[in-house]
């Protein structure tokens, strides 16, 4: 920092922390980012978790929101090493009977996959494909008067449904219902809850705008490119620096926290009124995740080999099965057949595994702070749609909620997207306030995925929080 104190400090170097730092630096503010771990990146780290030469995405893997982020799209991240690799298909959804459903950017091809429901799928997504970037900039923002009210109204009329209900209303056959359920399953909510259709719809639409990509070399490339750009703007990052108390920080006009709400309360202590801290303590983190990474001696032997075309495979069968799995999980149980999100980075990026070998990545949602080992259940689910899969496993690495929380203090109880995003908490993250990023202390802001618009690698929480700080303090 050239010896001087920074104007702004960002605690945490996840995609939101770095997005906040870049926004501040672009506003002419001298920024210092402090990161607890020895490596930057938060949920975008990449590591050899299994065997030498197998490079696994520790957390985030596939990035529809990264490539479409209204903020990232404006930044010269390619000049700082970010290269997106696009698959042939965004999603493959293996079905218990018959071929998998393949979701590609082409509406025509997807329509053909869905047979009698093809036209209904087209009617669902087409209105949003006219100006998708405008719609996304409204969706990936805090609650406010939308810039494109008609598109948002049209979106809201469908998004307000539960995924279960919307899929049953629109589609007559299992294939389209299952495809929609798989997209909505990312909500980590029972699919009978209102608003779960929103995520189903967002992911369905994004797949027709961009092929869901992976980052060349691993997800770490996303935050490394942000860090490179930040450095070019004069910002600095210190790693291995866990912030425990506000008093330990160099003096700065503002501090932005890329942390969980409970850490904000703990670190800020008396600098925040006790009533606000109590409200932060009531924040709901929700279910966790159990993740497996595999070193594989070849590609996953899907019964329908077209599944290899997709960066993401939704494994869970029919809408009914997926809904039952997510409902049971949300009620604190461990379903025998969990809904899985499987990613196939090495199919797209040869740098992830030694020649001829592959990495495998899958996780399921589990109850908050669950300690049950889900390895067998996950592998049995993959095996169900890819017979012989287990024979190809050279090594595996497992991580449950406790591992995730040790890896990153933001994953409270293993929650991977910054907290429950149901109808009550989606717009009131971390507490109900006109400006969700600001706190009662005018110097302190929250900028993590526990603020709107929530989880995912898009940097929009950080961008909006930094805009709030720039408006209030500079
Ligand atoms: C298993 C898993 C799979 C996922 N898959 C995807 C996916 O495919 N696509 C997608 O878009 N998203 C995915 N996500 C979600 C995504 O990773 C997160 O939503 C995103 O990383 C949130 O970014 P963030 O900047 O808010 O916080 P984080 O990425 O969590 O970063 C927070 C940073 O702050 C640091 N920190 C915390 N406390 C302190 C402290 N006291 N002092 C200093 N530093 C601190 C942490 O070490 C960390 O580096 C996944 C997450 C997980 C766990």
**Model pLDDT, residue 473:** 83
Decide: 447 in ligand 1 pocket, CB within 6 A. no
**Model pLDDT, residue 2:** 52
Give 12's DSSP letter. -
Our CA dihedral for 106, 112, 117, 118, rounded to 10 degrees, sits at 40
> Which residues are bridge partners to 257 per DSSP?
11, 446
Angle between helices 274-281 and 261-268 (to 10 degrees): 150
Q: How far apart are CA 113 and CA 101, in angstroms?
A: 6
Centre of ligand 1 to C-alpha 12, Å, is: 9
Decide: 291 in ligand 1 pocket, CB within 6 A. yes
Centre of ligand 1 to C-alpha 41, Å, is: 7
Q: What is the pLDDT of residues 239-254, one digit of tens each?
A: 999 999 999 899 899 9
For residues 272 and 424, the model is more confident at 272
Q: How far apart are CA 99 and CA 176, in angstroms?
A: 13
Centre of ligand 1 to C-alpha 42, Å, is: 4
Alpha-carbon radius of gyration of the chain: 21
**What percentage of the chain exceeds 70 in pLDDT?**
99
Q: What is the pLDDT of residues 305-361, one digit of tens each?
A: 999 999 999 999 999 999 999 999 999 999 999 999 999 999 999 999 999 999 999
Q: Given CA atoms 112, 115, 118, 119 in this order, what sign does their dihedral have?
A: positive
Average pLDDT over residues 99-116: 98
User: Which tokens sit at 248?
Assistant: 């330990």
**Model pLDDT, residue 426:** 86
**Model pLDDT, residue 472:** 84
**What percentage of the chain exceeds 90 in pLDDT?**
96
Q: What is the pLDDT of residues 21-30, one digit of tens each?
A: 999 999 999 9
Host H or E run for residue 224? helix 220-232
**Model pLDDT, residue 467:** 98
Going by pLDDT thresholds of 50, 70 and 90, the confidence category of residue 111 is: very high
Test site for ligand 1: of 9, 37, 43, most ligand atoms within 8 A of the Cβ: 43
**Model pLDDT, residue 5:** 86
**Model pLDDT, residue 39:** 97
Q: How far apart are CA 136 and CA 140, in angstroms?
A: 6
Residue 398 has pLDDT above 90, yes or no: yes
Residue 376, SS3 per DSSP: helix
Residue 32 has pLDDT above 90, yes or no: yes
How many CB atoms are located within 10 Å of the residue 106 CB?
A: 12
Decide: 448 in ligand 1 pocket, CB within 6 A. yes
Average pLDDT over residues 113-129: 97
What's the predicted TM-score (pTM) here? 0.97
**Model pLDDT, residue 427:** 83
Centre of ligand 1 to C-alpha 416, Å, is: 7
**Model pLDDT, residue 374:** 98
Supply angle C-alpha 130, 134, 140, rounded to 5: 130
Q: What is the pLDDT of residues 136-177, one digit of tens each?
A: 999 999 988 899 999 999 999 999 999 999 999 999 999 999
**Model pLDDT, residue 3:** 58
> Which residues are bridge partners to 233 per DSSP?
none
Host H or E run for residue 75? none
Residue 92, SS3 per DSSP: strand
Give 315's DSSP letter. E
**How many H helices and E strands in the chain?**
17, 16
For residues 66 and 144, the model is more confident at 66
Residue 400 has pLDDT above 90, yes or no: yes
What atom of ligand 1 comes closest to residue 62's alpha carbon?
8
Mean pLDDT lowest among 15-19, 143-147, 179-183, 266-270: 143-147
Centre of ligand 1 to C-alpha 410, Å, is: 7
98: phi then psi, degrees, rounded to nearest 5: 85, 180
What atom of ligand 1 comes closest to residue 37's alpha carbon?
47
The residue count of the chain comes to: 474
**Which single residue is written with the structure tokens 């298909």?**
89
- Nearest alpha-carbon partner for 399 in 416, 424, 419: 416
Residue 381, SS3 per DSSP: helix
Test site for ligand 1: of 38, 136, 400, 457, most ligand atoms within 8 A of the Cβ: 457
């Amino acid at each position: 920092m050239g010896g001087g104190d920074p104007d702004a400090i960002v605690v945490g170097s996840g995609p939101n922390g770095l997005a906040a730092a870049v926004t501040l630096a672009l506003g002419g503010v001298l920024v210092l980012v402090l990161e607890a771990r020895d490596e930057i990146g938060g949920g975008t780290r990449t590591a050899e978790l299994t065997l030498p030469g197998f490079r696994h995405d520790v957390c985030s893997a596939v990035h529809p929101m990264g490539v479409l982020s209204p903020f990232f799209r404006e930044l010269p991240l390619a000049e700082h090493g970010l290269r997106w690799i696009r698959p042939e298909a965004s999603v493959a959804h293996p079905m218990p009977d018959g071929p998998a459903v393949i979701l590609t950017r082409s509406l025509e091809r997807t329509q053909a996959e869905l047979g009698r429901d093809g036209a209904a799928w087209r009617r669902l997504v087409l209105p949003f494909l006219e100006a998708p970037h405008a719609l996304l900039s409204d969706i990936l923002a805090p609650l406010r008067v939308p810039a494109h009210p008609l598109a948002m109204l049209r979106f809201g009329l469908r998004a307000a449904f539960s995924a279960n209900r919307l899929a049953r209303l629109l589609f007559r056959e299992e294939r389209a219902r299952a495809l929609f359920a798989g997209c909505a399953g990312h909500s980590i909510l029972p699919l009978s809850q209102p608003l779960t259709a929103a995520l189903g719809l967002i992911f369905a639409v994004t797949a027709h705008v961009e092929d869901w990509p992976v980052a060349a070399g691993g997800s770490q490339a996303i935050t490394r490119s942000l860090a490179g750009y930040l450095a070019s703007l004069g910002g600095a990052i210190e790693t291995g620096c866990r912030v425990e108390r506000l008093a330990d920080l160099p003096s700065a006009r503002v501090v932005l926290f890329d942390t969980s709400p409970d850490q904000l309360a703990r670190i800020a202590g008396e600098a925040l009124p006790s009533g606000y801290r109590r409200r932060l303590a009531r924040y709901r983190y929700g279910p966790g995740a159990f993740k497996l990474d595999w070193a594989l001696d070849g590609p996953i032997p899907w019964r329908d080999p077209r599944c290899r075309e997709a960066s993401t495979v939704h494994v869970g069968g029919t809408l009914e099965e997926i809904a039952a799995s997510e409902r049971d999980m949300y009620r604190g149980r461990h379903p025998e057949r969990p809904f899985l999100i499987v990613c196939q980075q090495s199919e797209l990026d040869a740098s992830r595994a030694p020649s001829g070998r592959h990495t495998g990545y899958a996780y399921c949602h589990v109850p908050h702070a669950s300690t049950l080992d889900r390895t067998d259940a996950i592998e049995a689910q993959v095996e169900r749609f890819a017979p012989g899969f287990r024979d190809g496993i050279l090594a595996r690495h497992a991580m449950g909620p406790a591992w995730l929380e040790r890896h990153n203090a933001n994953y409270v109880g293993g929650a991977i997207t910054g907290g429950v995003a149901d109808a009550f908490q989606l717009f009131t993250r971390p507490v109900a306030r006109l400006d969700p990023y600001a706190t009662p202390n005018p110097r302190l802001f929250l900028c993590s995925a526990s603020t709107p618009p929530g989880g995912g690698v898009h940097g929009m929480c950080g961008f909006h929080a930094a805009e709030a700080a720039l408006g209030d303090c500079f």
